[in-house]
Amino acid sequence: MDKKTVLITGGAGFIGSHLCDRFVAEGFKVLCMDNLITGSMDNIKHLMNDNNFRFIEHNVSKFIDLGEDVHFVMHFASPASPDDYLKFPIPTLKVGSLGTHNVLGLAKEKKARFMLASTSEVYGDPLVHPQPESYWGHVNPVGVRGCYDEAKRFSEAITMAYHRMHKVDTRIVRIFNTYGPRMRMHDGRVVPNFIYQALNNKPLTVYGKGRQTRSFCYVSDLVEGIFRLLFAKTNDPVNLGNPNEFTIMQLAKLLIKQTGTKSKIVYKPLPQDDPRQRQPDILLAKKLLKWKPLIELEEGLNTTIGYFRDLGGK
């Protein structure tokens, strides 16, 4: 039997590269597409000599022409950290709109199953806690984060439109805060920020009073959930994340302890539209996918700290 082919856009990124690993290991032929605006060849260099892996440097916001069969299209291309989408607001909007349109068109042409990587950011600064898939969100469309939030909300809308109008078999995963090896040290998200600061004995930067909450899912748990969702029978959005909620202050103190750093904590004003609470309701994932995260925060942070130490912590 011929191998099934999966196209992973954003495949040289943090989550995308881990998905490439998983699908190669599962016996798929993997086409990894990335324009490297935030992705890195270092994340996939170990796959470059594998006959079941091929890298295609391309911006998915431009027309995609693939002359081969594709059975699954997974759209994970997008800047994903606040630093990145504040630096690249227009490319972020383009990859969520034009890019999603292009990959949906490809899935339609190839009669492939399609998966959209959406985000907990579609819930904005939520008024409902924890956030179930049925919650419509509380988003500022003209705020500085709107370029990412609204790009993902639009991408969900066009995905469902292609499902309803063109019968494309679609999946939508709403990804909550995820961390682990292959995050970029300076990507602006809280876990790599704190680890970099701790390893270099710099002050840990906490915004506001550190009372805002996040829920941190280790990347291997997320990849398992994504893999199961691709083969589940649903077209509706599904939350994937770790429901164990921590304040930013708790995270800072835990990382100081785990790294043994001499760093102190400094406080800065809260960024505009920074969500006060973020916690996934994963009852649907538990029921539908028989999935729940297994890696506790301390274990996942130890592995991630080790990864950054191996990079020199710079």
The structure tokens listed for 155 are: 């991408």
What residues does 247 pair with on adjacent strands? 213
Pairwise CA distance, residues 171 & 228, whole Å: 11
- Note whether 267 and 258 are within 8 A (CB): no
Report DSSP letters for 14-64, one per residue: HHHHHHHHHHHHTT-EEEEEE--SS--GGGTGGGTT-TTEEEEE--TTS--
Amino acid at 278: R
- Quick check: helix, strand or coil at residue 239? strand
- Note whether 17 and 76 are within 8 A (CB): no
- Note whether 96 and 151 are within 8 A (CB): yes
Catalytic residue among 85, 123, 148, 196: 148
**In the annotation, is 162 catalytic?**
no
For residue 284, count other CB atoms closer than 10 A to its CB: 19
For residue 209, count other CB atoms closer than 10 A to its CB: 11
For residue 211, count other CB atoms closer than 10 A to its CB: 12
Pairing of strands 213-215, 245-247: antiparallel
- Which are the catalytic amino acids? 148
